[in-house]
Chain A
Amino acid sequence: MVEAGRSPNIEILTSARLENLDGKPGRFTAIVHQEPRFIDDDKCTACGTCTMYCPMPVVDLFNERLDITRAPHIDYAQAVPTSYYIDARACLRINYETCNLCAQTCTAQAIDFSQKPRKLNLDIGAVVLAPGFGRIDPSVLKKYGYGRFHNVVTSMEFERLTCASGPTEGHVVRLSDREPLKKIAFLQCVGSRDEICGNGYCSSVCCMYAIKEASVAKEHDPDLEVVLFFMDIRTQGKGFDAARERAEEKYGLRVIRARIPRVDQVDGRLALTWTTDDGKSCSELFDMVVLSEGLSAPKDAEAIAEIAGIELNHYGFCKTCVDSPLVASRKGVYVAGAFQGPKDIPESVTQASGVAAMVSELLSEARNTQTVTLSYPEEDKAIESEGPRIGVFVCHCGSNIAGVVDINAVRDYAGTLPDVVFCRDTLYSCSQDALKGIASKIKGNRLNRVVIAACSPRTHEPLFQETLKSIGLNPALIEMANIRDQCSWVHSQEPEAATEKAKEIVRMAVAKARLLEPLEQTTVDVSPTALVIGGGAAGMTAALCIADQGFECLLVERSDKLGGNLRRLVWTMDGGEASEVLDNLIKRVDGHPLVCVMLEAQVEDVSGYVGNFTSSIVKAGQPVVVDHGVIVIATGGREYSPTSYQYGVNKRVVTQLELEKSLASGKGILKNIKNVVMIQCVGSRGEDMRHCSRLCCTQAIKNALKLKGIKPDIRIYCLYRDMRTYGFSEDLFKEARKRGVIFIRYEPDRRPEVIERDGRIKVRVFDRLLKDEIDISACLVVLSVGITPGANDVLANVLKAPLTPEGFFLEAHVKLRPVELASEGIYVCGLAHGPKPLDESIAQAKAAAAKAAIPLAKGKAQVASIVSRVDKAACIGCGICESLCPFNAIRLFRVNKRRKAETITASCKGCGICASHCPTLAISMGGFTDEAIMAQIHAFAGERCV
């Protein structure tokens, strides 16, 4: 987010809305209306003085109306832009021409009441719609007592209550009397799977977030009793089931399967009454009820659709189809995130990257035509190599630091430290004016090391590094002393101690600054080709997408033809012909001048790093060596092959894919078939594989409906644990129930059995309502077998890539980097990443293609400067560093028969494990050398050090 605020090629237009969109793909004109903020972004230093002085209270919408702020405010401390704004509806100056207190008290003079709304005409090539989701209508919440009973809250409100920076500083209390809670209930499916309110779909995220909120609440207060009411537990995300089981066990969460119809208040507590699926009627009292509200279409969806000229589906979300999930109905307009359908963060992030790839396909000829690249003056090596001349700048940060710490004392103390030749205090060092001042002082005093005593290097170091670069100094020559976030803000009641601490922090920073050395800013050329491993739906989509963006792509497939699992699929989830999707992909792959396909080939060896990989691919026993810049893993998965339920013994027991195949080949299979029993979670969710296979529930229902379509009087039983028809697939589930498919839930400790007697088969299952086992005679048993990973371990070994315990490739970050591996330049998509339906595989393949195209588009890879370096003379070649490096960034090679280690700087992440474990101290870390850290330790000790 901070990155978005800093890029010269991103213009953030806040308080803005689209008013009109004209033109055609590649050439649109958009009119955007922007409301004024009344505070100048460039001048505002986010000190908060305006909020303090403003007399007008307004409800804090960011904190779900649970708190009060003032007309001028910022949504949250780290908001981007990091600038305050004035709520025009409440402001006295704007509405009544009086007050003006904020303008008078703002020392940065950032308040500007002369700002007017403006209209912008933007020339753009494509439009991406990502307006997110809307909230459930309050009238729906009302039947659960929301609005009438204080202690009925929504999940978003609860989220703010548990947040440390929220209105109660993380203390979970009853809103009625601010007393601690003893017992709390979560009600699921509020505003989802609810025909009455019109939201028939499943919101996909509430089950998991309720578990998270419940766990957080338990962490705050271990004695809290938490009860969650589910219909089905839909935690189908990657790793979600495991996380849920851990949480249930660790926190002792009570899970009840029931849907609560209403909430009553009895003696100030909340009464819930329910009937479980084994027929028991129960009632209990709670202190708080959290409504797990679903995601609805954005409030302005219709307006957006009209302006952007796109169609919505029957629930008011953007309309898309299975084989192109990111494309809206108007050409050149794309969609990502929850507007396309309710979804969790990883899927939103995946779609977001995927949509970037699609735009990039459309506009590839115009790439880099409108972007700017910053250029910097040549580095002044002469000044850098002189002895340290340190300048210390001590920041007031308005009153944020100066209100607690004695700035003058710190500044004067800094002047007494060794090698400090200049010190100065600044009001706001990060403001544009101050940065210019700092630059001129550095130049004027021939400073070659700089200490900024202000806020956190995490947020502000890049800004000051930029200043150094702009005047020809190496950006590594700066050190920040964090006297705000870790001093004045946390010791506001102890000004003297805080001042002493600030002095010591500065002393340590100066000690380090004396030893700072310039770090090399290197770039490496990128080999402009991608290697895609696996020729299924995901692999082909990724290869085509990279090629359509203008880069060469080598597609390697192990078998003798393209298609993978898609070949076995007959119908897509929306009933379309899978073969059409397949044929279309193969035709495009074969015809694309930039895609080269290698069949019956396997990747045997990979070396190198992002931008410069070299791989050995073996085809017909012959190795072929290729150079490429990036790797996309799309090796797919396999249908699980069961050994239970008489599968393979009785030919009337088949898998869903086998059923699909025979249905497609003719109706013969249905002759004399009256009863069909489907068994869910065969192999999945703890039976043989731990994970949920995500797609089998929808697949089963799709086939059940197909059967019903062909033979309406057929009886179908579906034995399930949780029906996970998330998102709009819930419609199919509903349809199946309407058409008479019978659903019977089973518990994992009482799985159904397939019994053969006298040539007839029966399925025995425990009926929870009858509390007895029943036998269903079946003409056909269909097993919903899960998805098992392919032989990923071989490739994982070649790539030194980590796998999940289940055997799927492990992404760098489950939520925020869902298609990247920890090693840079390697991406994953499709079933190789985890089980998922076709549309999600396609979106993910596009996302991997976007990520893979980034280094290719840049042409050069910037090598991070904080990297390790091995002193060859001191290295004894023990290999400890190589074995410890989590990024494969150290390799061993031979020099005159001796083994030596070497850092592959492009892969190094600067963690320093190698340096701390080297027995001969041969490895030094840029910016964090042994000497510098030792100097900091000595400066910490001060005079106590002997």
Chain B
Amino acid sequence: MTSPYETLAARIDARFGEQMQRVASSCRELTYELDKDDLIAVATALRNESHFGFEMLVDVCGVDYLDYGSDEWTTNSATGTGFSRGVERASVILDEADEFDARRFAVVYHLLSIQNNLRLRLRVYTGTSNPPIVRSVVDIWNGANWFEREAFDLYGILFEGHPDLRRILTDYGFIGHPFRKDFPLMGNVEVSYDADEGRVVYKPVSIEPRTLVPRVIRDDNRYSADLKDGNGDG
């Protein structure tokens, strides 16, 4: 196959070798994983070397792989308990652990080359440290500034070398990182106006969380094996 993407993949393999690991994808997209220590060197090369020419960083986002592949409702055997009653809510794991699973948090970069009309995705796992930390790419692509602030705000991932790492989307004085999988969907606090005190007060959430549609993973044979990630390479 000599699609532009295969050519790019061959170039990346030749230039970076072991530094970048290709992830098989079903959607005609190129994804590479790399070690967080190599990030700056690889990113600089990808932007500056003309046969890569990724002059634009389209997106940076955090991903939390805590519950990846777990479902709420076992469908292997029929149950007598009905649909939503069968939901088992995952126990809350506090983020006070000293170490995280090495593949829990990842930062995903989407690159775009305007001169070569190519896209590339990079994924960097943050490793075991708590808080998770990676190097900032703001010096390479200035547009990364707010995207990294967002990943910090929502996932608590620190970016070393970021000029202004403040919260961006959540409220002033917000506690926690709301997009982590162990942060409840409806949050921890609710606000209301207290007429006696004459100000807005924060209280713990009073409503019970509920699941309307359980999360289900079916090993469906509708999809051929080569459609699944990890088996095909085209």
A binds B: no
